[in-house]
Amino acid sequence: MSDNKASMTAGGKTIEMPVSSGTIGPDVIDIRKLYAQTGMFTYDPGFTSTASCDSAITYIDGDEGVLLHRGYPIGQLAEHSSFMEVSYLLLNGELPSSQELADFSRTITRHTMLHEQLATFYRGFRRDAHPMAIMCGVVGALSAFYHDSTDIADPTHRKISSHRLIAKMPTIAAMAYKYSVGQPFVYPDNKLSYTGNFLKMTFGVPAEEYEVIPAVEKAMDRIFTLHADHEQNASTSTVRLAGSSGANPFACIAAGIACLWGPAHGGANEAALNMLKEIGTPDRIQHYIDRAKDKNDPFRLMGFGHRVYKNYDPRATVMQSTVREVFAALNVQDPLFETALRLEEIALSDPYFAEKKLFPNVDFYSGIILSAIGFPTTMFTVLFALARTVGWVAQWNEMISDPGQKIGRPRQLYTGPTSRDYVPLSER
């Protein structure tokens, strides 16, 4: 809090509102008494100027292209840390000691199995169901299986359900994939790392030994790290809003998954690779750039632009170098990478993209890596959901632990008919 105040004249009154400062980032005008004092609301569809909460987890400076988790830059975490360590950091606020990391990893590992009855639940879906549809259903259903951890007022319940969600998400995601390709589900193998285990459950088959390729495991773990949290984005805000009513954590995370699915959010990685496939060769890029600039064409460059970043998304930088590492490890090439690099180059030198500050985001290169590893495009957003679960859970816990927490309930500018009398059917 600072002693600053902002004054405003509204509804014929001049009022003063407190201004609060965070540790970094823009100050906020506290408008909570605005309605009581003036009878007016603020109007901000899409929340372009509204801070919906205070949070000590993640900070983004979109103009500078900075992303910090608990103060640590994403580039350093991606290079030196691991997804398990970043998960601990997001949940607990500090990097773990080696003992704390070992204990945390063991706890998560102990929760990787799913209730066996859930396998039957999968069999109710069509084989061609989108795996995100399966994720929404199965994660929502977890509350029907793990009712012993749904008392949100109990910190121990919150901790257990958080660990369960982080631990079970790879199993749920891998099973969604296995179901779609008609292969048997592969049980978790607790000898493996979080990420190695996920790769085995996804690509292993009971008929053969599965060998985790260390370079692929490292790249996948880094991709999870890059997606772990991103402050108050649409799906995280959805989780917070769902959680604000007191809904159980499994239901809240299912709501987050549903929101993430959209192509403007987590669905963009699938859409970006589909777009690159449609463009195909570099000679066709200009046509798509022209379409993206055409106001009468709904086409947008997928994997480009961001509500907050008005500079290069720092996650995209790491993604781009990871593409090269994965190609080298697997000894593959994908001509779509050349197309993507050229598309980025052409877009960044075009005044339309420069003026609107549209840069590649995390989703622009991730699809190329995931495809090289062997994932079908329909799994891309599932992987995003898997990794983002820790961010959702950390933000949900932060909200529930806040003694001042209230149900989220936005107001509106009503534009419908004013009060009128019901007209009987015979007179219409």
Q: Please identify the residue of the shown chain whose CB is closest to the bound ligand CMC.
A: 305
CB of 358 to ligand CMC, least distance (A): 5
- Cβ-Cβ contacts under 8 Å for 391 (sequence gap 6 or more): 57, 58, 90, 228, 229, 230, 236
Q: How many CA atoms lie within 13 A of 396 on its CB side?
A: 34
CB of 257 to ligand CMC, least distance (A): 13
CB of 273 to ligand CMC, least distance (A): 12
According to DSSP, residue 126 is labeled -
Nearer Cβ to ligand CMC, position 211 or 294? 294
CB 382 within 8 A of CB 179: no
* Among 268, 275, 318, 326, contact with ligand CMC (rule: CB under 6 A): 268
CB of 307 to ligand CMC, least distance (A): 4
Nearer Cβ to ligand CMC, position 196 or 314? 314
Of 321, 330, 328, 343, whose CA–CA distance to 375 is shortest? 330
Bridge partners (DSSP) listed for residue 20: 28
Q: Which of the residues 290 through 349 are near ligand CMC (CB under 6 A)?
A: 292, 300-307
The CA distance from 134 to 63, in Å, is: 37
Nearer Cβ to ligand CMC, position 3 or 355? 355
* Among 220, 279, 358, 382, contact with ligand CMC (rule: CB under 6 A): 358
CB 329 within 8 A of CB 213: yes
Identified catalytic residue from 306, 313, 402, 421: 306
The CA distance from 399 to 244, in Å, is: 8
**Angle at Cα 225 formed by Cα 306 and Cα 166, nearest 5°?**
110
What Rg do the C-alpha atoms of the chain give, in angstroms?
A: 23
Q: 149-152: long-range contacts (C-beta < 8 A, 24 or more apart)?
A: 150/248, 150/249, 150/250, 152/243, 152/246, 152/248, 152/249, 152/400
What is the distance between the terminal CA atoms of the chain, rounded to a whole angstrom?
Answer: 58
* Among 69, 130, 158, 265, contact with ligand CMC (rule: CB under 6 A): 265
Helix H or strand E encompassing 7: strand 5-10
* Among 70, 130, 158, 230, contact with ligand CMC (rule: CB under 6 A): 230
Of 229, 266, 297, whose CA–CA distance to 89 is shortest? 229
* Among 215, 264, 328, 332, contact with ligand CMC (rule: CB under 6 A): 264
CB of 255 to ligand CMC, least distance (A): 16
Nearer Cβ to ligand CMC, position 75 or 263? 263
Q: Is the dihedral of CA 384, 332, 174, 160 positive or negative?
A: negative
Identified catalytic residue from 221, 229, 313, 363: 363
Nearer Cβ to ligand CMC, position 186 or 226? 226
CB of 234 to ligand CMC, least distance (A): 7
CB of 139 to ligand CMC, least distance (A): 18
Residue 360 makes contact with ligand CMC by CB under 6 A: no
Place of tokens 């991730």: 366
Main-chain phi, psi angles of 173, to 5 degrees: -65, -45
Q: Is the dihedral of CA 228, 232, 236, 240 positive or negative?
A: positive
- Among this protein's residues, is 306 annotated catalytic? yes
- Among this protein's residues, is 130 annotated catalytic? no
For ligand CMC (CB under 6 A), the number of binding residues is: 20
For residue 177, what are the CA distances in angstroms to 127, 199, 414?
10, 11, 44
SS3 20: strand
Nearer Cβ to ligand CMC, position 102 or 264? 264
**Residue window 172-211: x/- pattern of binding to ligand CMC, with contact defined by CB under 6 A:** ----------------------------------------
* Among 238, 244, 248, 361, contact with ligand CMC (rule: CB under 6 A): 361
CB of 345 to ligand CMC, least distance (A): 16
What residues act catalytically?
A: 306, 363
Q: Which residues are near ligand CMC by CB under 6 A?
A: 230, 233, 264-266, 268, 292, 300-307, 356, 358, 361-363
